[in-house]
Amino acid sequence: MATANASSRSGAATAVLTVEDLSVHYDTHAGPAKAADRVSFALQPGERLGLIGESGSGKTTVAMALMRLLRPPARIAGGKVTLDGRELLSLNEEDLRQARLRDIALVPQGAMSSLNPVMRVGDQIVDAIRAHSRGDNRNDISGRVAELLRSVGLDPAVAQRYPHELSGGMKQRAVMAISTCLAPKVIIADEPTSALDVVVQRQIMQTLGRLQDGLGAAVVLIGHDMGLIAQFSDTIGVMYAGKIVEIGPVRQIIEAPKHPYTRLLIDSIPGIKKKQKLRGIPGLPPRLVNLPECCSFHPRCPYAFGECKTVTPRQQEVAPDQRVACHLYPEHDRLPERPAATEVPA
C-alpha cells in the first residue's frame, strides 16, 4: 500500500512513484508562500492514493509539481520525485515531454477549459498521441482514437464532435481518453468530478477506476469530498497548510482518524438519515506566507495545548501504516472526543 514515509519500508523499492520531501514555494513580496512543505509518499503500481484537504492546502500544487507544470512565481524548493526509476525533477524538456502521458498523466479539473474549443475531440486525441510519442502513423492512431473513446464509455463518433457539443460528463470522459492515450503508469486526477452532478460523478469515478485497473496504473486522486475520496482510494493523505498531516489506509482513516483536522473533516460531512446540526471546522485556513508557529493548525484545533505553539510536530507511526503529525501522540492511543464547542450554530 501507499506509504507516507517514502524512504522507509520495502514499498519504496518497488514503488512506481516516490515523492520525498517535496517542497514548493510561491515567491511573493511578503516572502515565500509554502504551498507544499516536505510532502512524502510512495505509491505501488495499481494503488490509489486520495489527497484531501480544504482549498489552499497544497493538493493541486503537489499535482502540478508532479507533472512539472508549475510556473513562476511557483518553484520547487526541494525534494525528490522518482517516477518508474527516473528522477522526474531533473528531466530535460524533451525527456519530460516523452514522460508525460506515457509515464505520468493528468486528468485536470474543469474539462471545458482543458479541451480546445475549436478542435474536434478526435483531433485532440491524435494531437496528444503525436506530441508525446514517436513513430505512430495516422491509420494506427485513428483506430486507437476509437478504442480510447470506447474505453471511457463514449461512442467513437464523438471523435467528430466539438467540445461544446458534449455534456459535462462526456467532456470529462474525452479528457480521460486523452490522459490515458499512451497508457500512463501514474494518473494524477485533480478533482475530476468538480462541477458534475452526483450521478455523473459516480459514473466518472467508475470509469476512472476501470481505466486504472485495465492499465495497472497508480492513481493520485485529489479532492475535498471525503466520501468520494474514501470510496475510491486505498490510502488517504490529509493535507493542511502544505503538509500531509495524516496518511493511512482508508478504513483506518475513516473509522479511527488520529489527527484532529481529519476528525473535523469527517465530522463536517452532512448526514442524510436524520436532521442534525451542521458541524464545521472553526476558523479559516492560514495564509501560507504567514503560517502559525509550529503546528499551523493550532489556532483552529480544539485539542491544542502549549507544546503545539512551541514545537513543530513530526510525523510518527501511530498504527500499522498510519502516520500522523500531532503532539497528542504517542501519549494517546486514539483521538479524544471532539469538544462540543466546535459545533457551528444552526
Summarize as ranges the residues that interact with ligand SF4 (CB under 6 A). 259-260, 295, 297-298, 301, 303-304, 308, 313, 326-328
Residue count of the chain, please give it.
346
Q: Which amino acid is at 256?
A: A
153 or 292: whose CB is closer to ligand SF4? 292
Min. distance of Cβ 335 from ligand SF4 in angstroms?
A: 9
Say how far apart CA 151 and CA 67 lie, in whole Å. Answer: 24
100 or 243: whose CB is closer to ligand SF4? 243
> 291-294, long-range: CB within 8 Å, 24+ apart, which pairs?
291/34, 291/241
64 or 295: whose CB is closer to ligand SF4? 295
27 or 343: whose CB is closer to ligand SF4? 343
Say how far apart CA 122 and CA 130 lie, in whole Å. Answer: 12
DSSP-assigned letter for residue 335:
P
101 or 318: whose CB is closer to ligand SF4? 318
* 50 within 8 A of 223, measured Cβ to Cβ: yes
Say how far apart CA 27 and CA 75 lie, in whole Å. Answer: 8
Maximum distance among all Cα pairs of the chain, rounded to whole angstroms: 68
Q: Which amino acid is at 53?
A: G
122 or 313: whose CB is closer to ligand SF4? 313
Min. distance of Cβ 30 from ligand SF4 in angstroms?
A: 24
Min. distance of Cβ 259 from ligand SF4 in angstroms?
A: 6
42 or 295: whose CB is closer to ligand SF4? 295
For 166-188, letters b (16+ CB in 10 Å) and e give bebbbbbbbbbbbbbbbebbbbb
Min. distance of Cβ 41 from ligand SF4 in angstroms?
A: 20
Min. distance of Cβ 46 from ligand SF4 in angstroms?
A: 32
248 or 313: whose CB is closer to ligand SF4? 313
For residue 136, give the nearest of 169, 164, 101 by alpha carbon.
Answer: 101
Residue 144, helix vs strand vs coil:
helix
* Three cell numbers written together for 246: 495524516
Peptide bond into 73 cis (omega under 30): yes
Min. distance of Cβ 312 from ligand SF4 in angstroms?
A: 9
* Three cell numbers written together for 344: 457551528
Say how far apart CA 173 and CA 111 lie, in whole Å. Answer: 9
Min. distance of Cβ 285 from ligand SF4 in angstroms?
A: 14
